[in-house]
Structure 1
């Protein structure tokens, strides 16, 4: 058996052991990395540790530390109350506002981790306060980013369009953006509609289960926009939940300035969001050491451990050529439609556990010979691959999903992790099939 097949089998084994023996998956992934890297690939310790996602680690720690300080000193509460005043108690509007803000940030060039890092803390705090499903709110943020990132100046849009142009493949930046935005918006509408419908039937606030809609939806209570019962629920929840806005203290003012600075720096420079957040958190720590001391335990260390462990192993798989091995095997098939489907599936599977930016940068070039053959519409195939690779971004093993989990309320964090894991696994199947069936099969 080749080392590529063995490495895939080991990855499956990590999930099985973590599920049935309740062993921390991050620890298992690190052990798997050293066993496969040292024992089978004959890598040195230095080469193995080179696969450690230091950038992701800094992003997760830096961003969660910064927003932990903001939560401790009352800044997050201040922002939440400001958002409440804008929607005038219409709780149903919160998820859609977060979707649009995330899409706008991503569409004007913010990288996905930056856009999620900016939006997720406030979004998840609002979800906690108003009993909105944290799964729904997190997916609204994640899908909003995916909807905007394929704009002509969005990171994903630039990657896909530039690679296509450089290799002589037909592309349509505007059609790519519009298609991805519409599909993500429709997906969010289905999520919202299913959760609302189930809430009306059950008449409960949140039973925490994941049921229909691709196997990944929370059945938390959500008010219906309009209608007697829904309107009454909004009024009751707003009356109970709206508190007096915290006083604008110097600490809150300094934190808001820091958050605004982070947004501006991320949008208009190439500086890493993790280092920017860590620097701002350190500055705030100097201004208020007591807040920083209270904030340190609130960094999502278990989630960080899990995410970087899995990503380290997936990076080893990429070094071993496992992704290329699978792609080459797919290329030898004779059916163009089947090849197109399998390329989308590979994009979804790898992206769910690693960088979407990386998989788009790797798979689009690998698909170029197939696209140039003209057996499928190149523009439609690029759209399908883009959707399949980005819709799964809410997986807790991707940066987007990890940030959503890390910013969830502490008492909800394990539940959100489990829900996003189920959602991610479901989307690995649903997203490529849907994208392939809608864009490739009809032969537009």
Structure 2
């Protein structure tokens, strides 16, 4: 069996077994990684185990643990409630306020999954009171949270950067991350605005919302710590970009890695007793982290067996330069309808970046954006976390059934929109 066929069979088998037995597909992927590595590629168990992406695992664990403190003591949700209350007398702008809240929540580093889980009930409750379309509510949650998650210091942005660097683009990781962020922001903001007018968001009614309780001393401490972490993660990186010739600044910015700063943030949160460490760790999405890292291990064993070379030959023989961008968008959207974008779609399709760039002349940065942004647009499907949480926020089962049917078609509308953006040049290389 060829290396690409063995990888494809292993990937599909892991997905099917995971769905069938309702077990994290990461465990099956890791099992196939060991089986393929030892019996097909002649690797040792230790060699396969060494392909586990240690830094990515550590980074995701530390970042999500830190924000687990702010989530578990209610600080981030209280911020969202306060912003909504202050904008209660601007009904037509309320969807934009909710959009911004979702983006900021995910953008602080918590990531899209946390925003979906903790903000969806709040946003849907506000939308029900103000008669905002449930479709618009779902779109603003998934678009806002997805854009925020792609910030370089948030979970999605870090994963995209690491995937790019692990696929041979070590010096372009940040550029890839920023281009995915900009393409996500431009296409999703326009998509949200179109949905806003199509669903009558400009006719939103005044909503009566109770004044939230003041921030507790613990929550105020948490805000200060989150602010410090945000400052030392972002400002040194910006200063380094503005003054690259200053050696001391480069060294300091290198130390201010998000993993290091969030580790210090965890210590501060623990010393200030803003929440218990046990509660914070309970908020860590271990299932997602294990899936992402296990898929990375499976891909790593396939790459060691020559998968990239095999894909290069296949791409050169079967994909034309004109059809490649549209094919990638459709492939990413279709795959993401059934599997996780960050955990499966991006790491898998990233293997096509180098061969496609070589055979079609496309810029690797563009290819990464097509794969990533294409996968994100199925975040509104009823089978995704965002779509499922939106449905869970509706107590009326008939209304939930109607929304379910609408959400089945929303990813299709998203794909058509993306193909249009690609054709017109809206989706492009913004950092080159």
- Normalising by the smaller structure, the TM-score range is 0.5 to 0.7
1:94 correspondence with 2:97: yes
Q: Deviations over 1:276-295 (max 9, x none)?
A: 32331233123328632333
- The equivalent of 2:187 in structure 1 is 183
Q: How does 1:173-212 map to 2 (within 5 A)?
A: 181-189=185-193, 197=199
Q: Secondary structure at the match of 1:130?
A: helix
Q: 1:359 to 1:96 in 2, by over 3 A?
A: same
Q: Deviations over 1:248-307 (max 9, x none)?
A: 40x223211211122122212344424432331233123328632333333333333333
- Alpha-carbon separation, structure 2, partners of 1:324 and 1:69: 45
- Alpha-carbon separation, structure 2, partners of 1:21 and 1:425: 26
- The equivalent of 1:328 in structure 2 is 313
TM-score between both structures, scaled by the size of structure 1: 0.62
Q: How does 1:8-407 map to 2 (within 5 A)?
A: 8-88=8-88, 90=91, 91-98=94-101, 101=104, 116-117=109-110, 121=114, 125-131=118-124, 136-145=139-148, 181-189=185-193, 197=199, 224-227=200-203, 230-232=204-206, 235=207, 238-239=208-209, 242-249=210-217, 251-267=218-234, 268=236, 269-270=253-254, 271-288=256-273, 291-333=276-318, 335-342=320-327, 352-353=341-342, 365-372=354-361, 383=366, 386-393=369-376
- Alpha-carbon separation, structure 2, partners of 1:427 and 1:226: 21
Deviation of the 1:6 alpha carbon:
0.8
- The equivalent of 2:250 in structure 1 is none
Deviation of the 1:13 alpha carbon:
1.0
- Alpha-carbon separation, structure 2, partners of 1:33 and 1:145: 32
Deviation of the 1:321 alpha carbon:
3.6
Deviation of the 1:370 alpha carbon:
3.9
- Alpha-carbon separation, structure 2, partners of 1:25 and 1:9: 14
Unaligned runs of 5+ in 2: 128-133, 173-177, 237-252, 394-399, 427-432
Q: 1:70 to 1:179 in 2, by over 3 A?
A: closer
Q: 1:33 to 1:365 in 2, by over 3 A?
A: closer
Unaligned runs of 5+ in 1: 103-112, 168-173, 198-223, 373-377, 397-401
Q: Deviations over 1:160-219 (max 9, x none)?
A: 9xx99x99xxxxxx999987643232333456667xx4xxxxxxxxxxxxxxxxxxxxxx
Q: Secondary structure at the match of 1:23?
A: coil
Q: Secondary structure at the match of 2:51?
A: coil
- The equivalent of 1:213 in structure 2 is none
Q: Secondary structure at the match of 2:322?
A: helix
User: In the alignment, is the contact (CA less than 8 A) between 1:53 and 1:308 conserved in 2?
Assistant: yes
Once structures 1 and 2 are overlaid, which stretch shifts more, 358-367 or 302-311?
358-367
Deviation of the 1:12 alpha carbon:
0.6
- Alpha-carbon separation, structure 2, partners of 1:357 and 1:21: 24
Deviation of the 1:435 alpha carbon:
5.9
- Alpha-carbon separation, structure 2, partners of 1:423 and 1:54: 38
- Alpha-carbon separation, structure 1, partners of 2:118 and 2:322: 44
Q: 1:85 to 1:344 in 2, by over 3 A?
A: closer
What is the number of residues matched between the two proteins? 360
Q: Deviations over 1:10-62 (max 9, x none)?
A: 10111112222323322212212111122211212222122213233223332
- Alpha-carbon separation, structure 2, partners of 1:3 and 1:365: 17
User: In the alignment, is the contact (CA less than 8 A) between 1:61 and 1:304 conserved in 2?
Assistant: yes
Q: Deviations over 1:67-93 (max 9, x none)?
A: 222233342243123322443364422
- Alpha-carbon separation, structure 2, partners of 1:344 and 1:329: 18
User: In the alignment, is the contact (CA less than 8 A) between 1:25 and 1:306 conserved in 2?
Assistant: yes
Once structures 1 and 2 are overlaid, which stretch shifts more, 287-296 or 52-61?
287-296
Q: 1:13 to 1:28 in 2, by over 3 A?
A: same
Q: Secondary structure at the match of 1:332?
A: helix
User: In the alignment, is the contact (CA less than 8 A) between 1:15 and 1:25 conserved in 2?
Assistant: yes
Once structures 1 and 2 are overlaid, which stretch shifts more, 137-146 or 260-269?
137-146
User: In the alignment, is the contact (CA less than 8 A) between 1:123 and 1:137 conserved in 2?
Assistant: no
Q: What RMSD in Å do the two structures reach over aligned CA positions?
A: 5.0
